[in-house]
Structure formats: C-alpha cells, structure tokens
Amino acid sequence: MNKLLKITAIGVLLTGGVMSYIYTAPYAGNAGLSRMPGVRIGGNIVEPPDDFSVFNEAGTNLIMKLDGFPPFVVYLAYVGTPEGVITGTRPDGGYWPQRVRDGRNEGWLRIGDETFEMKATEIHGDARLPMLELWRPRAARSARAIAQAAGTPPPTSSDSRNSGPQLLPEIFLWTPR
C-alpha cells in the first residue's frame, strides 16, 4: 500500500508540473527573457486588420504559436506592414523557422489581446532587403527593452556578441490565412 501511495504522489506532482507549465508558459518571467517555449497563446481570435502597421506604435509584444504538435509558443520581435507582420530570428537553425520551412507554416500571432490566424513565408534574396530595413529598428528597440527588463546594460556595437561578421537574420512575412 505504501508503494501505491508513493506512485500516486509522484503522478500527482508530475501532472501538477505539466499543467502549471501549460497554463503559465510563456507568461512566466518578462516577455522575451525566456528562451523556453510555451504552449498556450491566449488572447481573443479576431479578424486580421487591413493594415498591421497600426501595431508599430503600441509597444506591445508579439507572441507566435505554430499549428501542429508539439505546441510551440514564443515571443518575437516584429514590425507591422500593410501586407502583414515581419519577424526576424537569429540564423542559428532555430526550431520554429525549421518547422515553417518544413511546410508547417500556419499559426497564430497575438499582439496585445488580439490573436490572428496567420501563415508564415520565409523571405529570400533581394526581397529581404527592404524588409530588413523595416525590421532592424524594431529589433534594436526590443533588445534594449529586454536588457532593461533584465537589469543589464543594453547591447552596443562594441558588445562581444556583436564582434566579428554580422549574420543577417532570417526574415519571415506573416500574412492572414
């Protein structure tokens, strides 16, 4: 009987831990500070606006969830355009960009309390240049905000992370589906 009680207690603790993760991630900690993906996106699903650039001055975070299994929710830097939302990510072979490349490109973007059904397309070649110019200032603001929230100095051009060759981010355009 004592063994059954221990097994039950372990099961309850594991279930509690999993449920806690599902209902708090990625909301635990400050937005953008955690690299741990979450499960739930939250927000209210609404029709996408005709022009996403209205979100550029809001100063809100963008939360992305890709469709499929496993569920995957992360914070991203973004810039709104009339056509959709531009996001960028480090060119380090990350998980969510690979899922998009593998054809699992449908998902949701949450800005503030509004969640939109979207699909992502990776932008290549010369089409990236104008999008990079739009995206870079927002990414720099996001890096400063994250550093401020973490209580660390903002990155500078002399930062060791920025020394050496500069790798261009992978750029994605999210459009309504």
Q: List, for residues 73-90, the tens digit of each pLDDT value.
A: 888 888 888 999 988 887
Domain of 78 in residue numbering reads as: 2-157+165-176
pTM of the entire predicted model: 0.68
Burial of 108 (0-12, 13-18, 19+ CB in 10 A): buried
pLDDT digits (tens, 9 = 90+) for 113-139: 899 999 999 988 777 777 777 767 766
The H-or-E segment that residue 119 falls in is strand 114-123
Beta strand spans in 21-113 (E) = 44-45, 62-66, 72-76, 78-80, 85-89, 106-111
End-to-end CA distance of the chain: 55
Rounded Cα distance between 155 and 166, Å, is: 14
Query: pLDDT tens for residues 28-48?
Result: 334 444 445 567 788 899 999
Domain holding 90: CATH number?
A: 2.30.110.10
Domain count, the chain: 1
Among candidates 90, 98, 94, which has minimal Cα distance to 142? 90
Q: State the amino acid at position 19 in one-letter form.
A: M
Average pLDDT value for the chain: 76
Please give the DSSP secondary-structure letter assigned to residue 72: E
